[in-house]
């Protein structure tokens, strides 16, 4: 049975607050990704203190756990499954901030600006990630089942896109070894972000024991 019904209707106040904390984490992660990918793909200076922003994301994760625990201590018979879903989802949301920092770090490995035509697919992937972030917020926070399904479907497309890209980079004769490393690890990390977003919305569409599996 789908668990999406747990995210519709009137929420207990503490659970509603926890859902908003997840939304806030995703918004801060979006800001971090914008800065990190501008540095990586547009050769811009890093204008955001990613470590400080990641601290905000980490604090959000802790707040969600506190809110869930407080709710269960007050009303343990209500929204138990949703509480488990929130604890599972917030772990995935927290990872996005870490990956944003890692993407910025990838740019420091580069010997030269990312001007090769091999950077263009990553710019296309960037646009897909921002679209997925918006859809994830609609799917998880606003209980939009169609948006949640779109996230999971697009993630499957992202996986295929990245697999093809890595195959191209691995056999390209117009890329240096340094470029290949930077592009390949960046593509893989961007794919992991897509995966975490898909996992977040999967928690609203499939039974709890099948989180991270495709929705029917």
Query: What gap in Å lies between CA 29 and CA 22, rounded to an integer?
Result: 10
Per-residue pLDDT for the chain (216 aa), expressed as one digit of tens each? 344 444 545 678 899 899 999 999 999 999 999 999 999 999 999 989 999 999 999 999 999 999 999 999 988 777 788 888 899 899 999 999 999 999 999 999 999 999 999 999 999 999 999 999 999 999 998 888 899 999 999 999 999 999 999 999 999 999 999 999 999 999 999 999 999 999 999 877 765 555 555 544
Domain boundaries, the chain: 7-210
Q: Which of 184, 190, 189, 182 is nearest to 166 (CA)?
A: 184
Class of the CATH-defined domain 7-210 = mainly alpha
- This prediction's pTM: 0.91
Torsion of CA 15, 81, 158, 188, to 10 degrees: 80
Buried/exposed 98-134: b ≥16 CB within 10 Å, e otherwise: bbbebbbebbeebeeebeeebbebbeebbebbeebbe
Query: What gap in Å lies between CA 113 and CA 120, rounded to an integer?
Result: 13
């Amino acid at each position: 049975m789908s668990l999406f019904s747990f995210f519709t209707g009137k929420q207990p106040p503490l659970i509603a607050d926890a859902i908003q904390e997840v939304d806030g984490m995703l918004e801060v992660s979006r800001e971090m990704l914008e800065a990190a990918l501008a540095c990586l793909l547009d050769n811009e200076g890093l204008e955001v203190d990613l470590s400080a922003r990641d601290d905000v994301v980490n604090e959000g994760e802790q707040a969600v756990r506190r809110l869930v625990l407080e709710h269960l201590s007050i009303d343990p018979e209500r929204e138990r499954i949703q509480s488990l879903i929130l604890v599972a989802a917030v772990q995935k949301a927290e990872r996005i901030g870490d990956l944003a920092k890692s993407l910025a770090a990838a740019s420091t490995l580069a010997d030269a600006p990312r001007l090769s035509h091999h950077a263009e697919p990553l710019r296309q992937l960037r646009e897909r990630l921002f679209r997925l972030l918006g859809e994830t917020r609609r799917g998880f926070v606003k209980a939009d089942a169609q948006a949640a399904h779109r996230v999971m479907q697009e993630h499957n497309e992202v996986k295929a896109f990245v697999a093809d890209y890595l195959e191209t980079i691995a056999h390209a004769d117009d890329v240096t070894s340094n470029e290949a490393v930077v592009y390949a690890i960046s593509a893989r990390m961007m794919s992991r972000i897509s995966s975490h977003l898909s996992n977040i919305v999967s928690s609203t569409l499939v039974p709890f024991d099948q989180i991270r599996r495709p929705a029917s």
